[in-house]
Amino acid sequence: IIQRCPECRRILRESACLDHGPQQGVEDLRLKFVVDNGIHNASLILGKEPSEKLLGNTQEAVKEIISKTSQGDFLTEVRNNYLARKVTIHGRSLVDAQGAMILAEGVTFDDTSNETAANLVMEEWGVLL
């Protein structure tokens, strides 16, 4: 759960917006991950709707879970559920001085085994062994 500036929707840092100064923030839900294929990596950011879909909970439900446990416990559960999983990401990417960032509209998990994936690629490319 983050706080956004009511004027420009930027994330508040210490209750202040870089452009608009101190603000009473508006709560929002966001998930941020790092995706890595072994060669390259990028920051993956999911806004409210994709986060709710991925978690299977609304922002209010997430807020309630955090209030009953702690933010640390919630993040540990997220890490345990999603760390080191293959994903298919739908969205747009940005590359700037800070590196690559993917703003996801949706994320799905790919549970295809490596062997099955290799066979599908060979079939698609017409590779015969």
Q: Tell me the pLDDT tens digit for each residue of 98-120.
A: 899 999 999 998 888 889 989 99
* H helix runs in the chain, sequence order: 48-55, 59-68, 71-82, 114-125
Residue 129 confidence (pLDDT) = 82
Output the domain CATH number for residue 86: 2.40.50.140
Q: Based on the structure, what is the number of domains in the chain?
A: 1
Residue 54, in any domain of the structure: yes
Phi, psi (deg, nearest 5) at residue 127: -85, 130
* Distance between CA atoms of residues 16 and 13, nearest Å: 5
- Is residue 20 in some structural domain? no
- Taking residues 73-78, report their average pLDDT: 95
Residue 53's pLDDT band, with cuts at 50, 70 and 90, is very high
- Which residues span the domain enclosing 99? 30-125
Residue 63 vs residues 24, 57, 128: alpha-carbon distances, Å: 18, 10, 53
pLDDT beyond 90 at 16: yes
Q: Which residues of 4-18 are buried (b: 16+ CB within 10 A; e: fewer)?
A: bbeeeeeebeeeebe
- Residue 88 included in any domain: yes
What pLDDT sits at residue 110? 87
Domain membership flag for residue 18: no
Residue 23 pLDDT greater than 90, yes or no: yes
Answer whether residue 65 is part of any domain: yes
